[in-house]
Homo-oligomer: A and B are copies of this chain.
């Protein structure tokens, strides 16, 4: 996998957690946050980090909007939801906005994750260097196939699937990345949950049924391909400005 963003995920000073709710007990009555907003965040963060690296120290919604082809007001609202706060005339201080966004997304310090399924995709994710900038650290992979078990490049180890539950629990890993064949997905997902994982990144295309409280995020290439091939065969570009942000997966 490509991409090589700046990977200086600094340990942020965890601002008051914007978004309305979230007082001490992070559980109750959180007014559900618009998914489109969350999907735009990485684009903001990416640009902000780049500009910070260039030496800038403030940024306005206007600038961001221009660079991303979005409406300034939209960005202002998004940043507000994320707990950012700016000042008239100058905008937002990068030195406080960047950590705020990182904290908001939970990227301030990396979460550890397991890849389950060491096929082509699983290995691609296992070896991808760019996740560090996104608060993700993949620590190991698991596979059924004995031939795949062992040490892979870059010191990432591949364990037999049978060890998943035990290792997951012992290491306190909370995130599982599912890259198994679709038929195996449900069973493996349940193992993950049983091992204490609270989040699953599901690349399998299966529609998972899991206990309440588990966070599942699906990557479904078919969805994306549907847009692409429909538009291709009907010859219509999405918007004047090609695919802004929140719309594409």
Please list the residues of chain A having a beta carbon within 8 angstroms of any beta carbon in chain B.
1-5, 19, 22, 26-27, 30, 32-33, 35, 38-43, 46, 68, 104-107, 111, 117, 119-121, 123-124, 127-128, 130-131, 134-136, 174-175, 179-185, 198-199, 201, 203-205, 207-208, 210, 212-238, 242-243, 245, 247-249
A42 touches B232 (CB 8 A): no
- What's the number of copies of this chain in the assembled complex? 2
Question: What distance in Å separates the Cβ of A247 from its nearest Cβ neighbour in chain B?
Answer: 5
Question: What distance in Å separates the Cβ of A51 from its nearest Cβ neighbour in chain B?
Answer: 15
> Can you list 10 contacts pairing A with B, beta carbon distance less than 8 Å?
A1-B121, A5-B205, A30-B234, A39-B226, A68-B207, A106-B229, A120-B120, A124-B124, A174-B232, A215-B232
B2 touches A107 (CB 8 A): no
CB-nearest residue of chain B relative to A32? B236
- The 8 Å CB contact of A42, one of B5, B130, B225, B242, is B225
